[in-house]
Amino acid sequence: MLKKLVVFLFLISAFNLLEAHNILTPLFSQPLQINPKAAYQNQQLVLTGLSGSGKLEVYSIIGNKIKEINIQELDNLKLYLELDAKKMFVLRITSSTDIHTFKIITP
């Protein structure tokens, strides 16, 4: 009886390890994603965490489109962008795979 119990417990633990491996392997095999970030200071927009080409749209807080810029390379983008001071804007960046939206407040 004890021998059957030991074999049973061994099989259950082996099954749990296999299940854990099947669940966790896809999580750890994917590359680490970097969350995109946007910053605006001294009339310069800095975008990090994006790649490829895309389109940048700038909207006022009430939804009026102010600017639209096609960008060839989004990797660590630094872009001169003249915006009114002490206002809030919404940035919408559309790449070939994703759409990201940011709110910025100009100093």
Please list the pLDDT of the chain residue by residue as tens digits (107 residues).
666 655 555 555 655 544 545 555 555 555 556 789 999 999 999 999 888 999 999 999 999 999 999 999 998 899 999 999 999 999 999 988 889 999 999 99
Distance of alpha carbon 99 from alpha carbon 71, whole angstroms: 14
SS3 letters for 68-99?
Answer: EEEECCCCCEEEECCCCCCCEEEEEEEECCCE
The hierarchical CATH code for the domain 37-105 is 2.60.40.3580
